[in-house]
A and B are shown apart, each in its own frame.
Chain A
Amino acid sequence: MSRSAPTSRNAPISTRQILWTFALPVAVLNLGAVLPWLWRLEIPQRVPLHWSFDGPDRFGSLTELTATITIVGVIVVVGIGWITMVLGADVSTRRMGVITNTVLAFLLASIPVSTAHAARGVSDPSTLSFPSIPIGLATVFGAALGVALAFTLPREPHNPAVVLPATAAPRVALSDAETGVWVSRQFAGTSIWIAMGSILVACALSLLMQAWGLLVMPALLVVVCMTFLAWDIRVDSQGVTVRSVSRLITLHIPHEEIETADVASVSPLRDFGGWGWRTGRDGSVGLIVRSGTALDLRRTGGRRYVITTHDASTPAGLINTIIDRERQNPR
């Protein structure tokens, strides 16, 4: 049987999604610009804009401090929001957008706020030290709030597929009496080295600047690597389950909602702009740990998942074989 056209996107954009993805982060960023202005009479004419290991090394007006960060922040937040909410057909992508934007907004807004707050009543701004602890705390708070808000987004409605997988897609030889499962742990080559490098640089910067609050960054990076760069993938009679090794994230795609499974070839930078949990140009969810073959799942509602793995034709074949069996002989 040939595949029919994919069903229409099944995840309409809700008011809550717009609020958490755009409105709240933009409001927080604006607060980061407004609060320092409320204190403008108490702070010196020149405030630190840039820091070296010995303290502030470049100074400017309050406008320079607040405007640059706020404008860049709003552009980035709107860009991420557009990619994850407008292109992203899957609720997991939209949740990632909410988390990323909330963390970014709190991180960026905390820089002018904490700098201006530290400068209140100070006559010589060169004596100020980098406000790493409030920035670290704001980032952690943003991450926690982002996760909490992300999970208020509703799950997608059940949307069963009716078509059979593409005839040209892989199959495995599995008799009717046989049960098949495929399990594999995937972790990265190149991306692990990049992540380790980033963690070491973040540690070194914190130590050299004696900015202890910034140690939260390498700690967060370790959790992020365990969560986004190492995955346990399982295909069984229920569907496809992908769990991060840290067990913080689980993605389950039931067989009933899969239209077809195939093999794709992935170049992380070209196709997904990097490694980890990514969003592709077509809004697909990418669980990308290396270049090469990937399991390419088409789900109802125009959703697509690309999961890098060795020997992708075996899990793709098993999924298609199980779907063929279930849809041709419904229980």
Chain B
Amino acid sequence: MLFRVDTTSSEPIFEQLAHQIRIAILQGNLAAGDRLPPAREVAGALDVNLHTVLHAYQMLRDEGQIELRRGRGALVSNQAQAVPREVTEAVAALVTQAHQAHLAPHIVVSLVKEALA
């Protein structure tokens, strides 16, 4: 799994990591039962603090996306579900249309929020 960290971003690193794992689960790149890399390995590779990675993992555990088991590491939870392909495709189509219409991201987000309300 690919992890990326932008140290210049205002978004905390643990949130960046949690977001990437969440998206990987939602897009079906990580399935229930898949093991996440050990936090120590991710921290070492990214040159970030171990507790930053653990914070991201704990956040995902609280959301029910992953399970943390002593001795077995972090596993994608059985409750975690990938988004149906039709929804992913619809989102991609929306983004393409928004780009063509030169809409700013916050406008698109507002429209989606309004539609969901």
B residues less than 8 Å from A180 (CB atoms): 2-5
User: Is residue B79 contacting chain A, with contact meaning CB distance below 8 A?
Assistant: no
Contact indicator B5/A185 (Cβ below 8 Å): no
User: Is residue B110 contacting chain A, with contact meaning CB distance below 8 A?
Assistant: no
Contact indicator A177/B8 (Cβ below 8 Å): yes
User: Is residue A78 contacting chain B, with contact meaning CB distance below 8 A?
Assistant: no
- Which of A178, A181, A236, A318 meets B6, CB within 8 Å? A178
Decide yes or no: A179 and B42 within 8 Å by CB, A184-B1, A185-B37, A318-B2 being known contacts: no
Grouping DSSP codes into helix (H, G, I), strand (E, B) and loop, the B interface class, with mixed when no group exceeds half, is mixed
A residues less than 8 Å from B42 (CB atoms): 181, 183
Contact indicator B2/A179 (Cβ below 8 Å): no
Contact indicator B47/A183 (Cβ below 8 Å): no
Interface residues on A, range: 10 to 19
B residues less than 8 Å from A177 (CB atoms): 6-9
Interface centre among A182, A184, A314 (most CB of B within 10 A): A182
B residues less than 8 Å from A234 (CB atoms): 41, 45
B residues less than 8 Å from A182 (CB atoms): 1-3
- Which of B1, B8, B29, B45 meets A236, CB within 8 Å? B45
B residues less than 8 Å from A181 (CB atoms): 2-4, 42, 45-46
Give CA–CA (A237, B3) in the complex, Å: 12
- Nearest opposing residue in chain B for A232, CB measure: B41
A residues less than 8 Å from B4 (CB atoms): 174, 178-181
Map CB proximity to A onto B10-30 as digits: 1 under 8 Å, 0 otherwise.
000000000000000000010
- Give chain A interface residues in 293-331, CB to chain B under 8 Å: 311, 314, 318
Map CB proximity to B onto A179-201 as digits: 1 under 8 Å, 0 otherwise.
11111110000000000000000
A residues less than 8 Å from B47 (CB atoms): 179, 237
B residues engaging A (CB < 8 A)? 1-9, 29, 35, 37, 41-42, 45-47
Q: Which 9 A-B pairs have the closest CB atoms?
A: A181-B45, A183-B37, A236-B45, A177-B8, A180-B4, A178-B6, A182-B2, A178-B4, A179-B5
